[in-house]
Structure 1
Amino acid sequence: MRHIELNNLHLPNSWKKKASRVHTRRIRAKSSLQEIKEYIKSNGTSVWKPTKRYLMKFSHNKCWFTEANNAISSFHIEHFRPKKKVKKLKGTWKYNEQTRNWNVGYWWLTYNWRNYRLCCDILNSHKGNYFPLSIGSLVATNPTINHSTEDYVLLDPTVSNDVKLLGFDVATGEAIPKYDERNYPVEYSRARISIIVYHLNEDVLLLESRKQKLKELDKLKKRIVQNIFKFKQVDAQNLAAKKVISDILSDYFQDLVDLLNPKLLNSTYTAMVKVYLDELALTESWVGKYVFPRARKQNLI
């Protein structure tokens, strides 16, 4: 999961005006919850579907939650706060849910583009209407209550601090909480619940795709280590040979930097790549000396 800065997303003014001045105004004028749900049913996907191509372009054709491209699955517009109803989590959780009227969703946000998230089919089908709030949280049940003050549980890719709570096991490619449960119970629980609700480790194609990315990283690491060894073996006076190897290494270093760049179509799972490089830097000094400086210069880390 990589941070998506919503303030930089630009949608056509014509769509935003119609969404706010027509649909939102009409839905707020309804006198009953049933009428509201009927309106959403009649004015649903066809209204927000046109925004999908803008959201795809904004994230360079990658799911906002998984960083998978559309080779894994098709994309959908996910209403982060469910529009019609909210579904209760099953099982017992350390981070319990606030009691609410489960039949009432965030209907007034149905046509609010800031509630839209681009997600792959895998996530869309499993996240569904889940939107747990922590015990004691304010519950926004109507548009007069500020929903932004809710203490929500699921990690939101549009919130920079949320994406920092998710880590990866670079041996398996599985998503894991970045912080331990004992010292950071809230952060751990939010990440753990998000991993389960979003099915970040359940889909075979998604997990296999992450594993392939790790294999790609391992191959690059091996080539770099081999060429560093060759460089050290070359006689100091053989400047031409050293130049050749140095250029090869420079290209490999840039290849790693490119894998951190979410703007490149094939650079999927950049958050996992960063975790991989962080761990590699503990044993390989060249990561901190040659890779990270380039990445910082390009504002990738």
Structure 2
Amino acid sequence: MVKSMFSGVSGLRAHQQKMDVIGNNIANVNTTGFKASRVTFTESLYQATGASSDGSDTYGGTNGSQVGYGSQVGTIDLQLSTGSYNPTSSATDCMIDGEGFFIVGTKGEGFADTGEEASTGISSKFLSRAGNFTLDGDGYLVDGQGNVVYGYNYEAGVAGTGTISPIKAFEDGDTPYSYTGVTINSSGEVTLTKGDETTMVIGKIAIANVPNANALEKTSNGYYKAVSNTGTILPYAPGSGGTGELLAYGLEMSNVDLAQQFTDMITTQRGFQANSKIITVTDTMLEELVNLKR
């Protein structure tokens, strides 16, 4: 009887964890670039109550028997489908139409765009799907949290040679110039319009291709961090290396399916109730056992 109580407790814990994930999904239904998570259950421990045996000349074989100890959370997976395009009026807003992640982080030195150096360099940064960018007072292209955006730098409008570094309108020591606008096109080029109406490409946004994106570790503010199981992450220009192109003047909406979340919430609630019933019924049976001797 105690086994059934343990099974009920494990079921309560598993369904509570699933409800936690569902609640987080629903809470982020309007979060830019948010990726929903999915919970799957698996069986817990088993105890053998009878061994199997071979048949003989006299008797046939018998099957073994086992009693389980309930369920547990098996996996919590990221749902990486692309969210819908949400048009905005900002020329520096963009979304990745397909696979890949923006590379953002603190100001730092550049790194090569190929080989182990590229993978190591990206692993020290954050990955993001939120493309709400702007230029700060120092000329850096930054995201909503103030982290600089990494990409291919341009000098005098000419693409750099294989180095990923923070995209910046002007170098340290240069005299900052006034500008009237900044735009980002589908290929990731960041174009600055100066006060004299001339234009200059200051960089191209790099997109990280993650072989096993499901292994990424979620952190705060919509960021992801690479872990050992994500594979070798390499940067590419948008639309190359298996990454998606950029869609300008818009942001990626959350990919949360509210109808599915509400359905999961109902079934999870019923599962929780059913497991709590196991505990109450087992408790009633134990009470009857205790009351046998009055």
- Shorter-chain TM range is under 0.3
Q: Kindly indicate which of the two structures has a greater share of residues assigned to helix.
A: 1
If the length of structure 1 is used for normalisation, what is the TM-score? 0.23
If the length of structure 2 is used for normalisation, what is the TM-score? 0.24
Larger radius of gyration: 2
Q: Kindly indicate which of the two structures has a greater share of residues assigned to strand.
A: 2
